[in-house]
Chain A
Amino acid sequence: MVDIVVALLAISIVKSTPLVLGALSGTVSERSGIVNIAIEGMMLAAAFAGFAVAIQSGSLLIGLLAAMLSGALLALLHAVLTVRFAVDQIISGTAINVLAVGLTGFFNRQLFATGAPPGAMVLPRLHVPVLGDVPVLGPILFQHQPLTILAVVLVVVLHYALFRTRWGLRTRAVGEHPLAADTVGIDVGRLRTANVVLGGVLAGLGGAYFTLESVPHFEPLMTNGRGFIALAAMIFGKWTPLGAWGAALLFGLTEALPVTLQIQGLAVPYQLVGMLPYVLTIVVVAGLVGRAHAPAAVGVPYVKGQRS
């Protein structure tokens, strides 16, 4: 029984990886006042770019860099449109999602029309020294592939950074009251741009999970709504990295459950258990959003010299 629970939790951690990274991406962006619903598209683009570059270069590490870069580039586009041109943040995000679907589909057919080339690999599983040997906790948390472990580390780092550093204070100030932040000399547009791009890098890492860690191939639309579930995790976690992590784990659990049931030999129609994370997201967003506190200025373009 303990074995099954440990296995279930370990799979939950793995399944939560793109959600954790996506939720962190959303958090750094929204804390500075920019809504980013293009995390889904950024992840999809990164999943493809990471895979394609890893194949061409023969190096998973270069693939990983490409994934981060592609996420950052789409994020930069989002930042320029929303910060410089005050385009509605949700519409810009939607357009980037459409663009990502088109670009990945197009190049996937151009480059891999005959199917994925053989020999593609995924990142090796790590065994963190000392911590990995702790009973129960070791196998759950510290015997995973690198992105899964990195995601957990980033949660702690970003939580500290957001609430204990200068950057964090400025980010929160810009997200809550940009006019006040501007008055004390913070460049609102620049900070927002930087945070959105950082969010893009994080989403890129989340995308890399799909093709460099989970499976060694790319499929069109393979992110399957994870970018949006990540946003729900961010809201559930009240825009804090630690909270988002907890929420992402819960979503990961709903994904791990069918897998574990299947291993145990229980047959449930996959469409019905497959609904679980989506239904849970609705319940969570409906049940908590009213009480959760979004950054006050999120979604509102800031124009210098104009009262809001």
Chain B
Amino acid sequence: MERSPLGQTLLVQALAVLTGLVAGAVLIWLTGGDPILAYGGLWEGSLGRAASVSETLVWATPYILAGLAVGLAFRGGLFNIGAEGQLSVGALVSAWVGFAVQGVPWPLHLPLALGAGALAGAAWAGLAGWLKARTGAHEVITTIMLNYVALLGTGYLLSGLLKDPSPFVIVAQTPKVLESARIPALFADLRVHWGLVLALALAAGCWWLLFRSTIGFAIRTVGLNPSAARYAGISVSGTVVLTMALSGALAGLAGAVEVLGVNYYHTPGFSVGYGFDSIAVALLGKSHPLGVIPAALLFGALRAGATRMQFVSQIPIDVISIVQGIILLLVAADELVRRVYRIGGRRPAVSAERAAEGTVARSWGRAE
């Protein structure tokens, strides 16, 4: 299979991002806004000051983990669209361990809370993997449905069983997690915390797992060609369940890190939007564990800066979703970008290799 050189891929990705930002500016301008003022706010809120950079990193931390989750599943030929649900389940369980388990020192309590969140996410996604392996139910539908079940289920628990009993708390949220379960900050006075280091370490871990271990080989082989994998003696259904569980564990951790490192409690609706954002991060990073990091930083910066942008320019925050959607489209349709910017010479609209690549859509509605 012909592969384009890394430099060219990076150029195409960068142009996709740039085009998305320009399209956003045009939209702001067309609707009577001032794109320079808006993007100035975006810059100020994301990179302009030390505190802004810290906010970008705070946003990027769960994006790295959730992006790794989706990317890992992609490598295994699975489309985990349910990071959002896994994230909220992970957040809920880690919050519960964080406030309900008492009298444990932090070297034990924190890993326990993080592990519980990862486990919960793994179970939630593993269910979809098991259903796929067992019955062929497409994970796109099951994981989306599980998102809604998770959202409603956590909402139910947060307004009932797990609600903060304090008479001063009227909204649905858990009690605050104990000091012993909190992730310490990296620097005094800034919100960026050690979860970032954990996320970066796990990105390296994922790289090793995917490209240097037997399990990773199985995951990638099943992703590229399930029949070949079966012929080579790899258990396809076992690998599918494992891939989904690992993916869910990473997404669950993303929720756990957010609860234990930033908010210290869990509240309904906190996970909304992470699901699609993490897909965009994974695609932008070409589903490569190390590519996910810059993609997550970019999306973190966009999210961190969006609030400031809305404040200074009154441009609705949603413009960021539009920019992300366009970037996602252009990254998926890289052929389009190559043509518009005339990269890589003239080629046919669709190269044969490209069409032959394993597509996510191919396994639609059929049992393996």
Contact = CB atoms under 8 A, between A and B. Distances in A.
Interface of A: 35, 37, 81, 84-92, 94-103, 105-106, 108-110, 224-225, 228-229, 231-232, 235, 269, 271-272, 274-275, 278-279, 281-282, 285-287, 289-290, 292, 294, 298-301, 303, 306
Given A85-B349, A101-B276, A282 B137 contact: yes
Residue with the greatest number of chain B CB neighbours at <10 A, chosen from A87, A100, A224, A272: A87
Interface of B: 27, 31, 79, 81, 131, 134-138, 140-142, 144-149, 152-153, 155-156, 159-160, 276, 279-280, 283, 316, 318-326, 328-329, 332-333, 335-336, 349-350, 352, 354-355, 359-367
Nearest to B316: A109
Given A232-B141, A278-B145, A94 B361 contact: no
Contacts of A81: 329, 332-333, 336
Contacts of B349: 84-86
Given A106-B319, A271-B155, A225 B137 contact: no
Contacts, number: 183
Nearest to A94: B279
Contacts of B159: 271
A278 B319 contact: no
B365 A292 contact: yes
Given A81-B332, A282-B131, A286-B131, A89 B359 contact: yes
B141 A92 contact: no
B145 A272 contact: no
Nearest to B151: A271
Nearest to B135: A286
Contacts of A108: 318
A99 B364 CA distance: 23
Contacts of B329: 81, 92, 95-96, 99
A303 B360 contact: no
B320 A88 contact: no
Q: When A and B form their complex, which 4 residue pairs have the shortest distance between CB atoms, in order from nearest?
A: A102-B321, A99-B325, A299-B361, A105-B318
17 contacts: A84-B349, A90-B360, A99-B322, A102-B319, A109-B318, A110-B31, A275-B148, A278-B149, A278-B152, A281-B145, A286-B137, A286-B142, A289-B137, A290-B367, A294-B366, A299-B362, A303-B352
